[in-house]
Amino acid sequence: MKTRLIYSSLISLLLASGFTACSNTPEVNPKDIATEETELKLESDTLMVPVGEETSTKIINGGGNYKVINEAPEIAVATIDKDNINIKSFKQGFTAFILSDDADNYKRIVVKSMYTSIVLDTNEISIKKLLGHDLNDKTIIIKKGNGDYEVESGDENVVKFVTIQKDSIVHIRGIHTGETTIKITDAAGLTAQVKVTVNETDIPFTDEEKQEIMNSDVKRVFWDEDLQQWTPERYNYLTAFNHKVGTENRVGYEYSDYRFIRIFFDGDESVGVYENARVDACPQWYGETTHYAPAKVEIIKNDGTNVWGIVSVIKNKRLYRGYFCLPKQ
């Protein structure tokens, strides 16, 4: 009986101490358990991909089960391969993709799909032009580049940048004989250069141009590109003439003294060159008369019915030229 009482007392003490020990441990509230946030991190948040090529970046932290949404798949497309993101570039431009994970993280990654060099249709241009004329402009075609181009001439006394069309066609103009470069810079700071050589000539017409003039027997008088060409159909009130006064030939068209082109030279209109000629020009109604001398006349054809001639003179560092086809005297 006594032994049973001792056991009962021991059990009571153990239970009491056990309850006391439990009461010293704080109760755990599920609301107090902090949820650990998983931040979405990549090796780089901005990616540069050469046009037509691929690149990749690694996800170094995130909540798994990654997905992407491409903003402009016509420029570049991102795909997921486990923890790697592969980006394929298709054309030049800026775009982005949205990366998400199972922890409801989202990140926007910028993709720059760009060319790594400027590609032109040529790296050398030769410009042949008439002395003092703005004719024969040339173009440089930008085949590949990152847009927003700036064009600079190494020497504007040799060649000038005129304009750029459609952000891809560069127009340049030869000024004076010489050699320089045209430098093209794009939005990425890439540059390309074109060597430009300009040669001015005081030869009024090439052999091919002379042949073209002689191939037509239409009655006409032409003087300078900046003015006009006369034909009976265009200006029927003007009178063409080819006659001789003393030893001097007079060729051209006129309406009294109000509007005219008059070419004067000595000779018999046989094929050959005639120096010390002159030209009087009043191409506009009641305009001022301009005198060009000493000029040179070359009769390039005389078939017994018509006579073809070319005229040239240099005035104020500019070559003026003309030609005519009129019935012979």
Distance from CA of residue 321 to its chain's centroid?
A: 33
The neighbour count for residue 257, using CB atoms within 10 Å, is 9
Residue (of 54, 157, 44, 172) closest to 110 by Cα position: 44
Domains contained in the chain, CATH given: 41-114 (2.60.40.1080), 119-201 (2.60.40.1080), 207-327 (2.40.128)
| Residue 32 main-chain phi, psi, to 5 deg | -85, -5
Residue (of 328, 207, 205) closest to 269 by Cα position: 328
The pLDDT value recorded for residue 17 is 44
Residue (of 76, 168, 82) closest to 118 by Cα position: 168
What distance in Å separates the CA atoms of residue 1 and residue 59, rounded to the nearest whole number? 75
The pLDDT value recorded for residue 287 is 80
25-41 residue pLDDT tens? 445 454 444 345 688 99
Q: How does DSSP classify residue 27?
A: P
The pLDDT value recorded for residue 179 is 98
Using pLDDT thresholds of 50, 70 and 90, give the confidence band for residue 285.
confident
> CA distances (Å), 293 to each of 169, 193, 206, 243, 290, in order?
41, 42, 22, 20, 10
With a cut of 50, say whether residue 307 has pLDDT above it: yes
CA angle 46, 52, 54 (to 5 degrees): 50
CA angle 80, 84, 88 (to 5 degrees): 65
Q: Tokens 């400027």 map to which residue?
A: 118
What distance in Å separates the CA atoms of residue 79 and residue 257, rounded to the nearest whole number? 81
Overall size of the chain counted in residues: 329
Residue (of 198, 128, 192, 124) closest to 160 by Cα position: 198
40-64 residue pLDDT tens? 999 988 999 999 999 999 999 999 9
Q: How many CA atoms lie within 13 A of 42 on its CB side?
A: 24
What does pLDDT average to over the chain?
87
Most confident stretch, 64-78, 229-243, 281-295: 64-78
> CA distances (Å), 189 to each of 45, 49, 87, 115, 133, in order?
22, 16, 23, 11, 34
The pLDDT value recorded for residue 9 is 45
210-255 residue pLDDT tens? 999 999 999 989 988 655 566 666 767 778 899 999 889 999 988 8
Bridge partners (DSSP) of residue 54 are: 88
Contact assessment for residue 50 and residue 114, using Cβ atoms and an 8 Å cutoff = yes
The pLDDT value recorded for residue 120 is 97
- What's the whole-number mean pLDDT along residues 125-149? 93
What distance in Å separates the CA atoms of residue 5 and residue 295, rounded to the nearest whole number? 149
SS3 content of the chain, % helix, strand, coil (to 5): 10, 55, 35
